[in-house]
Amino acid sequence: MSTYIRGPVCGTDNCRSRLWRIINGHRTCQYGHVMEGDVEFNDDDEEFSAMGVVTRRLNLTTNATGNFQSSQAFSQTQVLSQHDDEKRLLGAPARELFLKCFQYILRKQCSWLIEEQGFPMEFSKTVKIIWMSYLNHIELDTSTAGNDANEMVNTPSQTLDEIHRTPNGGRMGLSMLSTLAFHYLACVHLGVPAHTNDFIRWISSLEMPYFRAAECLPTEWQKKLPNYYTQILEGSSVPRNAQLHHKIASVALQVKFSEHFHDTIPAGPLILKLVTLTGLPPEFYLYTTTLLELLEDQSCIAVLAHDSTHVARPHLYPELRIAALFITSVDWVLQHQDDYNIEYLLAWLRRENTARLTQDTASRNRELGHLAQRPSQLPVAWTQDQASAYLDWLESDFLPKYDHFTNSHIPLDHKIARRKLYNIIPLRTAAKLEPAHPTSPTFINALQEFYFTTASSLSTADETPHAAARPTVVAKVKNKLMKDLAAEFGVSSHQLTNAVNAIQKQCLAAVRRQAT
Q: HEC states along 224-260? A: HCCHHHHHHCCCCCCCCCCHHHHHHHHHHHHCCHHHH
For residues 231 and 170, the answer to whether their CB atoms sit within 8 Å is no
List the beta strands (DSSP E) in 149-243. Answer: none
What residue spans of 374-411 are helical by DSSP H? 384-393, 399-407
Closest of 499, 492, 488, 510 to residue 195, by C-alpha: 488
Q: How far apart are CA 307 and CA 303, in angstroms?
A: 13
Measured from the Cβ of residue 22, the count of other Cβ atoms closer than 10 Å reads 16
Helix axes 91-116 and 176-190, enclosed angle (nearest 10): 50
β pairing state of 5-6 and 19-23: antiparallel
Residue 183's pLDDT is 95
Closest of 205, 228, 225 to residue 217, by C-alpha: 225
Strand partners, 19: 6
Closest of 346, 387, 375 to residue 480, by C-alpha: 346
Going residue by residue through the chain (516 aa), what tens digit of pLDDT does each one get? 567 888 888 878 888 888 888 887 788 888 888 886 665 555 555 454 445 555 555 555 555 455 555 555 555 555 555 555 557 888 888 899 999 999 999 999 999 999 988 899 999 999 999 999 999 888 766 555 444 433 333 333 333 333 334 344 445 788 899 999 999 999 999 999 899 988 998 888 888 888 888 888 888 888 888 888 888 888 878 888 888 999 999 999 999 999 999 999 999 999 999 988 888 888 899 999 999 998 887 888 999 988 766 666 888 999 999 999 999 999 999 888 777 777 778 877 876 555 554 445 555 556 665 555 555 555 556 666 666 766 776 666 666 655 555 555 566 677 777 777 777 776 665 444 444 444 444 556 666 666 666 666 555 444 444 544 888 888 888 998 998 899 889 898 899 999 999 999 999 998 888 887
Residue 150's pLDDT is 39
Q: What's phi and psi for 155, nearest 5 deg?
A: -75, 120
Residue 21's pLDDT is 86
User: If DSSP states are collapsed to H, E and C, what string results for 8-57?
Assistant: CCCCHHHCCCCEEEEECCEEEECCCCECCCCCCCECCCCCCCCCCCCCCE
For residues 84 and 223, the answer to whether their CB atoms sit within 8 Å is yes
Helix (H, G, I), strand (E, B) or coil at 428: coil
Sort residue 456 into left (φ over 0), alpha (ψ -120 to 50) or beta.
Answer: alpha
Q: How far apart are CA 319 and CA 297, in angstroms?
A: 17
CA–CA distances in Å: residue 7 to residues 14, 45, 302: 16, 29, 71
